[in-house]
């Protein structure tokens, strides 16, 4: 099928689009740069002319300042001011006026602002208030130059007679200079005040314009009224500033904008004139004509557009010729490729060009030859793949059968388990529910499988597990054990998370064991042993007393008889101690053991415990090192029971340590608890025995000494006592050799409210 647009058309359109985009970008960037340059030049001219106009307005005031500083610092002037020599001071002021003839008034005031001398002969001795200027000069003891709007009445009082006939409503825009007269000790003697009325200098902008040229218009306003301007008289208005311009100037900000003056366009900058109190009293504006700048920009744009048009036409002609030359061999390649697509692998392209097109033709011919060879290989490999596919299908069938057998075995194992097993998937929905779990939950599988585990837990009373299930879902790994009582049954629930091949959470396995019968048997055993112990304790106590009496008072005994009685006495003590341990654990479990809680020192308790076990340790050549310091805070507990815990832990450490080793007892504060640790150098307890450490009637065999005698209640009693103190007891194995038993006791203030 003939394409709608050939490669030549696409190449021409692409080149034309590139040219248009390039020239458009060039024109846009050039115009942007030119506009920014013109804008910068206009702003620079405005700033230059505004600075020049400001300097021209303030130059005379600076001349007045430095002219008045000389008499203001003269001692002769100071003496005549103290004598209030009006005639002499008036002559001195007139001498200054001859040097500065443009001053409209020149007044000398004393410290109370009363007129001492002026250019006017009959000036009365009265107070003269020039708003702001005189007060700032006297208080600040510095020269103050300011442009003020003064009333006609004030000007008349200062000696400007032409304002005396204009009434009290007239005003004038006056450049005012106030120079304080200071004595040598810094005391204020008075103030010299001079002023020049700008309303009488309407040609001032024309003077400035002679320097800047006719493209610049300069205007001075008193508030919003023109008082001086370089504009032609036909364009001068009585009011020149708009309200929005006045708002900007009253905030003390410079206004910038465009304005049409007559038929010409101007860029305008208006600078506010503020009086000594920071109030807006007038403005100085400079306007620069933009006709010349716009004309330059227009001419540059015309030149750029003409150059772009010529460049585009020339580039398009060259592109047409180049595309025609380049696309001919490409069309031949396209025709050959279509025949190859139909299966003609004997197709070849003739290419004699010594360029990229010739290289393309050569590569095309090589590609056709390679395709021909690969087609033969593909046909040959296809038959091999079919055979391999058949073998793979046979292997899949065999593996499927093996997996089915494994699944059958697993199902048989789960079915025969005495413990209930429940498995959930990634969404915590039940996917497995074995017969033991059915008996425990008293529910059939079709009511459980596929349901969320949260819903199943609520149905069977396993609601305490919901929080743990949420933790597993969020954490994604781990295992824990929980004890629950459901429908009168005591259950041990083991939770373990499942993970996929990437280690992500994939479900939870619940293993549920009914230990109700075991606990009942354990309770019966404990009650039986407690009863027997109570019955044995009384006769054993009598036997102990009798043996002790015989040993202390029977002097006629032979050595053999005394040795036999001593063995009987020692075994009786051992039996009484074992029975005491049994009664202690029974009392703790039944709540009959009374604890007397009070503030105690761990340091003192460890000293007492070490003293009790010292003789036993010396008999086995064991050294006990006590590192507990006196800096630890007081704890809240029963001192006798805590000593019992320490003595038991020390006794076990000495009992299971090889001879000649060291047993260390230490303590440190962790948060609101004191942690007490007893460490030995014996063989590390095996993993299989660690779960039985704190259970009743459990004995741990020592490889060095075999099975050590005892009731197996020592650590169980310690656990019960520590838990009654709101602490915990735990075991830690050393990396190489040694065991550490630790327990926590709350410091004073942590359990007071609980007791």
> Which of helix, strand or coil describes residue 747?
strand
With cut-offs at 50, 70 and 90, classify the pLDDT of residue 707.
very low
For residue 113, what are its two tokens? Answer: 């602002």
- Tens of pLDDT, residue by residue over 245-276, are 888 888 888 888 877 766 667 788 888 888 88
CA 688 to chain centre: 48
DSSP state string for 124-141: -S-B---TTHHHHHHHHT
Q: What pLDDT does 664 receive?
A: 92
Q: What pLDDT does 741 receive?
A: 92
Q: What pLDDT does 751 receive?
A: 46
- As for how many domains the chain has, the answer is 3
| Interacting residues of 420 by C-beta distance below 8 A, sequence separation 6+ | 434, 436, 437, 438, 439, 440, 441, 510, 511, 512, 513
Q: Which of 587, 586, 588, 543 is nearest to 568 (CA)?
A: 543
Q: What is the share, in percent, of the chain residues with pLDDT greater than 90?
A: 8
In this prediction, residues 100-108 reach a mean pLDDT of 88
Please tell me whether residues 614 and 499 are part of one structural domain: no
pLDDT above 70: residue 191: yes
Q: What pLDDT does 667 receive?
A: 93
With cut-offs at 50, 70 and 90, classify the pLDDT of residue 641.
confident
In this prediction, residues 147-173 reach a mean pLDDT of 79
- Judge whether 701 lies within some domain: yes
Please tell me whether residues 612 and 498 are part of one structural domain: no
Whole-number Cα distances in Å, 346 to 349, 363, 372:
10, 15, 8
Q: Which of 755, 716, 719 is nearest to 637 (CA)?
A: 755
- Judge whether 346 lies within some domain: no
Please tell me whether residues 646 and 510 are part of one structural domain: no
Could you tell me whether strands 673-680 and 701-702 are parallel, antiparallel, or unpaired per DSSP bridges? unpaired
39-53, 473-487, 507-521: least confidently modelled range: 473-487
In this prediction, residues 658-665 reach a mean pLDDT of 90
Q: What is the share, in percent, of the chain residues with pLDDT greater than 70?
A: 77
234-243, 491-500, 641-650: least confidently modelled range: 234-243
Please tell me whether residues 616 and 479 are part of one structural domain: no
Please tell me whether residues 606 and 500 are part of one structural domain: no
In this prediction, residues 721-725 reach a mean pLDDT of 87
Please tell me whether residues 610 and 703 are part of one structural domain: yes
> Which of helix, strand or coil describes residue 170?
coil
- Bridge partners (DSSP) listed for residue 510: 422, 495
Q: Which of 142, 143, 138 is nearest to 189 (CA)?
A: 138
pLDDT above 90: residue 560: no
| Interacting residues of 563 by C-beta distance below 8 A, sequence separation 6+ | none
Select the more confidently predicted residue: 621 or 337. 621
In this prediction, residues 128-137 reach a mean pLDDT of 83
pLDDT above 70: residue 400: yes
> How far apart are the C-alpha atoms of 652 and 736, rounded to whole Å?
19
With cut-offs at 50, 70 and 90, classify the pLDDT of residue 122.
low
pLDDT above 60: residue 590: no
- Bridge partners (DSSP) listed for residue 259: 266
CA–CA–CA angle 554, 558, 561 (5° rounding) = 85
Please tell me whether residues 741 and 605 are part of one structural domain: yes
With cut-offs at 50, 70 and 90, classify the pLDDT of residue 199.
confident
Q: What pLDDT does 754 receive?
A: 42
Please tell me whether residues 477 and 599 are part of one structural domain: no
Q: Which of the 8 DSSP states describes residue 709?
A: P
Q: What pLDDT does 15 receive?
A: 76
393-397, 592-596, 748-752: least confidently modelled range: 748-752
Q: What pLDDT does 674 receive?
A: 94
> How far apart are the C-alpha atoms of 34 and 41, rounded to whole Å?
10
pTM of the model: 0.40
- Judge whether 177 lies within some domain: no
With cut-offs at 50, 70 and 90, classify the pLDDT of residue 677.
very high
Question: Hey, which bits of 635-749 come out as E strands?
Answer: 635-637, 662-670, 673-680, 701-702, 706-707, 729-733, 739-746
Q: What pLDDT does 701 receive?
A: 63
Please tell me whether residues 601 and 506 are part of one structural domain: no
pLDDT above 90: residue 744: yes
> How far apart are the C-alpha atoms of 393 and 287, rounded to whole Å?
94
Q: What pLDDT does 303 receive?
A: 80
Q: What pLDDT does 678 receive?
A: 93
- Judge whether 378 lies within some domain: no
Domain end: 233, 256, 289, which one?
289
- Tens of pLDDT, residue by residue over 367-391, are 877 777 787 788 788 888 888 888 8
Q: What pLDDT does 540 receive?
A: 65
- Judge whether 584 lies within some domain: no
With cut-offs at 50, 70 and 90, classify the pLDDT of residue 706.
very low
Three-state SS sequence of 495-557: EEEEECCCCCEEEEEEEEEECHHHHHHHHHHHHHHHHHHHHHHHHHHHHHHHHHHHHHHCCCC
Range list of H helices, 342-355: none
In this prediction, residues 49-56 reach a mean pLDDT of 80
In this prediction, residues 83-102 reach a mean pLDDT of 88
Q: Which of the 8 DSSP states describes residue 734?
A: -
- Tens of pLDDT, residue by residue over 534-547, are 556 567 676 767 77
- Judge whether 698 lies within some domain: yes
Q: What pLDDT does 206 receive?
A: 61
Mean of the per-residue pLDDT values for the chain?
78
The H-or-E segment that residue 643 falls in is helix 639-655
CB atoms within 10 A of CB 676: 28
Q: Which single residue is written with the structure tokens 């001879």?
A: 659
Q: What pLDDT does 167 receive?
A: 61
- Domain extent for 269: 201-289
| Interacting residues of 692 by C-beta distance below 8 A, sequence separation 6+ | 698, 700
In this prediction, residues 25-29 reach a mean pLDDT of 81
> How far apart are the C-alpha atoms of 245 and 284, rounded to whole Å?
13
- Highest mean pLDDT (candidates 326-330, 358-362, 423-427, 692-696): 423-427
With cut-offs at 50, 70 and 90, classify the pLDDT of residue 347.
low
- Judge whether 70 lies within some domain: no
Give the up-direction half-sphere exposure of residue 244: CA atoms within 13 A in the CB hemisphere. 2
For residue 63, what are its two tokens? Answer: 């001349």
Q: What pLDDT does 565 receive?
A: 75
Please tell me whether residues 723 and 617 are part of one structural domain: yes
CA–CA–CA angle 505, 506, 509 (5° rounding) = 105
Give the CATH number for residue 278.
3.30.450.20
- Tens of pLDDT, residue by residue over 205-216, are 666 656 556 677
> How far apart are the C-alpha atoms of 602 and 669, rounded to whole Å?
11
pLDDT above 50: residue 44: yes
Domain end: 514, 541, 561, which one?
514
Residue 342 phi/psi, 5-degree rounding, is -80, -5
Q: What is the end-to-end Cα distance of the chain in Å, rounded?
A: 98
Please tell me whether residues 609 and 734 are part of one structural domain: yes
Domain end: 486, 514, 542, which one?
514
> How far apart are the C-alpha atoms of 436 and 496, rounded to whole Å?
18
Give the CATH number for residue 629.
3.30.565.10
Select the more confidently predicted residue: 678 or 419. 678
For residue 171, what are its two tokens? Answer: 């005003």
Please tell me whether residues 489 and 611 are part of one structural domain: no
Q: What pLDDT does 457 receive?
A: 78
Please enumerate, as own/partner, the contacts of 265-269 that have beta carbons within 8 Å and a separation of 24 or more.
Answer: 265/289, 265/290, 265/291, 265/294, 266/217, 266/290, 267/42, 267/46, 269/46, 269/47, 269/50
Q: Which single residue is written with the structure tokens 């063995």?
A: 567
Q: What pLDDT does 668 receive?
A: 93
- Judge whether 627 lies within some domain: yes
> How far apart are the C-alpha atoms of 71 and 77, rounded to whole Å?
6
With cut-offs at 50, 70 and 90, classify the pLDDT of residue 614.
confident
């Amino acid at each position: 099928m003939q394409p709608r647009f050939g490669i030549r058309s696409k190449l021409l359109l692409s080149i034309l689009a590139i040219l248009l985009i390039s020239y458009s970008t060039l024109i846009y960037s050039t115009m942007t740069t030119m506009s920014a340059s013109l804008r910068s030049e206009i702003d620079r001219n405005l700033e230059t002319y505004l600075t020049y106009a400001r300097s021209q307005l303030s130059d005379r005031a600076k001349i007045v300042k430095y002219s008045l500083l000389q008499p203001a610092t003269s001692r002769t002037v100071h003496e005549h001011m103290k004598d209030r020599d009006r005639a002499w001071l008036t002559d001195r002021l007139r001498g200054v006026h001859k040097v500065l003839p443009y001053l409209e008034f020149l007044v000398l005031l004393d410290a109370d602002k009363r007129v001492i001398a002026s250019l006017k002969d009959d000036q009365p001795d009265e107070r003269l208030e020039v708003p702001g200027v005189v007060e700032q000069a006297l208080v600040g003891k510095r020269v103050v130059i300011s442009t003020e709007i003064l009333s006609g009445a004030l000007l008349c009082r200062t000696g400007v007679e032409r304002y005396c006939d204009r009434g009290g409503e007239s005003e004038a825009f006056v450049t005012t200079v106030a120079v304080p007269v200071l004595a040598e000790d810094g005391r204020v003697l008075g103030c010299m005040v001079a002023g020049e009325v700008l309303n009488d200098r309407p040609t001032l902008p024309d003077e400035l314009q002679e320097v800047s040229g006719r493209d610049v218009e300069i205007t001075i306003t008193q508030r919003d009224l023109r008082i001086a301007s370089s504009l032609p008289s036909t364009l001068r208005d009585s009011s020149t500033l708009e309200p929005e311009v006045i708002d900007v100037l009253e905030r003390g900000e410079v206004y910038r904008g465009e304005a049409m003056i007559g038929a010409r366009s101007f860029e305008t900058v208006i600078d506010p004139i503020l009086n000594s109190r920071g109030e807006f009293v007038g403005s100085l504006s400079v306007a620069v004509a933009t006709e010349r700048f716009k004309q330059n920009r227009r001419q540059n744009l015309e030149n750029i557009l003409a150059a772009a048009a010529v460049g585009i036409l020339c580039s398009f002609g060259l592109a047409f010729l180049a595309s025609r030359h380049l696309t001919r061999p490409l069309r031949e390649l396209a025709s050959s490729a279509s025949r190859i697509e139909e299966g003609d692998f004997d197709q070849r392209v003739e290419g004699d060009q010594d360029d990229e097109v010739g290289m393309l033709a050569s590569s095309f011919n090589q590609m056709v030859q390679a395709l021909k060879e690969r087609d033969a290989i593909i046909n040959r490999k296809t038959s091999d793949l079919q055979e391999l596919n058949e073998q793979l299908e046979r292997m899949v069938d065999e593996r499927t059968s093996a997996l089915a057998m494994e699944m059958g075995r697993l199902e048989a194992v789960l079915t025969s388990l005495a413990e209930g097993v429940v498995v959930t998937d990634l969404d915590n929905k039940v996917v497995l529910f074995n017969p033991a779990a059915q008996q425990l939950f008293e529910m059939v599988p079709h009511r459980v499988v596929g349901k969320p585990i949260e819903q199943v837990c609520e149905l069977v009373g396993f609601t305490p597990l919901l929080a743990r299930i949420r933790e597993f879902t969020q954490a994604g790994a781990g295992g824990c054990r929980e004890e629950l009582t459901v429908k009168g049954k005591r259950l041990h629930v083991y939770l373990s998370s499942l993970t996929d091949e990437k280690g992500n959470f994939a479900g939870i396995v619940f293993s549920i064991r009914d230990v109700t019968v075991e606990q009942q048997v354990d309770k019966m055993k404990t009650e039986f042993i407690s009863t027997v112990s109570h019955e044995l304790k009384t006769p054993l106590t009598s036997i102990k007393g009798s043996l002790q009496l015989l040993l202390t008072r029977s002097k006629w005994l032979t050595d053999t008889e005394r040795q036999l009685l001593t063995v009987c006495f020692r075994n009786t003590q051992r039996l009484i101690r074992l029975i005491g341990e049994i009664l202690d654990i029974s009392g703790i479990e039944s709540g009959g053991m009374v604890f007397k809680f009070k503030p105690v020192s761990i340091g003192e308790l460890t000293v007492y415990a070490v003293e009790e076990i010292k003789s036993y340790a010396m008999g086995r050549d064991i050294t006990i090192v006590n590192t507990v310091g006196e800096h630890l805070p007081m704890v809240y507990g029963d001192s006798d029971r805590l000593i019992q815990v320490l003595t038991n832990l020390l006794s076990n450490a000495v009992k299971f340590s090889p001879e000649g080793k060291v047993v260390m007892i230490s303590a440190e504060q962790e948060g609101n608890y004191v942690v007490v640790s007893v460490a030995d150098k014996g063989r590390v307890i095996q993993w299989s025995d660690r779960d039985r450490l704190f259970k009743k009637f459990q004995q741990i065999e020592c490889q060095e000494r075999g099975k050590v005698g005892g009731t197996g209640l020592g650590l169980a009693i310690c656990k019960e006592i520590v838990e009654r103190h709101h602490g915990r007891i735990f075991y830690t194995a050393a990396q190489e050799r040694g065991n550490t038993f630790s327990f926590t006791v709350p410091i004073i203030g942590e359990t007071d409210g609980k007791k």
